[in-house]
Amino acid sequence: MRIEESRIGEVLVVKPMDRRIDASSAAAFKALLNDRIQGGQQRIVLNLSEVDFIDSTGLGAIVSSLKRMGEFGDLVISNPRETVMSLFRLTRMNRVFNILPSEEEALASLSKS
Residues that bind other proteins (CB under 8 A): 20, 22-24, 52-53, 55-57, 59-61, 63-64, 66-67, 71, 82-84, 86-87, 90-93, 95-96
d(CA 57, CA 5): 22
Residue (25 or 47) nearer to other proteins, CB = 25
CB 53, min distance to other proteins, A: 7
d(CA 54, CA 70): 24
The letter for the amino acid at 4 is E
CB 95, min distance to other proteins, A: 4
Residue (89 or 108) nearer to other proteins, CB = 89
Could you tell me which of 19, 78, 83 has the C-alpha nearest to residue 46? Answer: 78
Residue (7 or 95) nearer to other proteins, CB = 95
**Which residues, other chains included, contact 85 with Cβ-Cβ below 8 Å and sequence gap of 6+?**
94, 99
CB 52, min distance to other proteins, A: 8
d(CA 39, CA 94): 27
CB 108, min distance to other proteins, A: 22
